[in-house]
Amino acid sequence: MKKVLMLFVIFTFSQIAGAVQTENFGWEGTETILGMYPAGGIIAQIATDPVHGGSQSLYIEENDSKGTSQAFVALITGLQVGDTLDAEFWRYDTTPGGSPSIRIWAHWISDPGDINSYSVSAGGNDDYGPGTGWDLTSWSWESTADSLHSIVIEARIYSAVGDAGWIDDMTITAPDGATITTPGNVSLESGTWADIKAAF
């Protein structure tokens, strides 16, 4: 009876708590990015101008001749098949119709403990934006297979070496059972909750 009650409480709590958690990240601390591809392909720094919200943003500079380097800005692990994940950030671009430009993109990884364990591209938003200052770009991804549990969100820059762009005010929305990692920050509560659920 006690176990049945416990299961009931957990089930009820999961319904009341709602299906999703939201993490906002605005680069207001000292951390920049979680990683990059290729190695050395991105120069990332905290910037103070331009800024979308707060007093800081993220500066990303292209440092690879291929010109499509990826800054890893969030990691979401613990997704279940059928889960949907939403991510968005503001980007700053003042070159309409030309580079440098930034897209929101993502890739799945095979090992949730290794952000560099690339598995397969997850695609993203093709839109380069108007290039008239700040604009919000967003995309949604769905976990459709057991191999697609962990995803890295990229700010992907398209430019020549030395060109740069800025992003700010990222929002990640994921199911309660997932764990969201942003630079210097892990959603510990949801991680604990995922552990509780996993125990049943």
- CB closer to Ca ion, 88 vs 168: 168
Three-state SS string across 18-87, please?
CCEEEEEECCCCCCCCCEEECCCCEEEEEECCCCCCCCCEEEEEECCCCCCCEEEEEEEECCCCCCEEEE
Interface characters, 148-177, with Ca ion (x: CB under 5 A)? --------------------x---------
Q: How far is the CB of 28 from Ca ion (least distance, A)?
A: 5
Dist CA 102 CA 119 (whole Å):
22
| Three-class SS state of 97 | coil
Residue 53 is a binding residue for Ca ion (CB under 5 A): yes
Interface with Ca ion, residue 26, by CB under 5 A: yes
Instruction: Count residues binding Ca ion (CB under 5 A).
Output: 5
Q: Which is nearer to Ca ion, 54 or 130 (CB)?
A: 54
Instruction: Lay out the site mask for Ca ion across 119-138 (x = CB under 5 A, - = otherwise).
Output: --------------------
Query: Does residue 91 touch Ca ion according to CB under 5 A?
Result: no
Spell out the long-range contacts of 197-200 with Cβ–Cβ below 8 A and sequence spacing 24 or more. 197/10, 197/14, 200/7, 200/10
Contact residues for Ca ion, defined by CB under 5 A: 26, 53-54, 56, 168
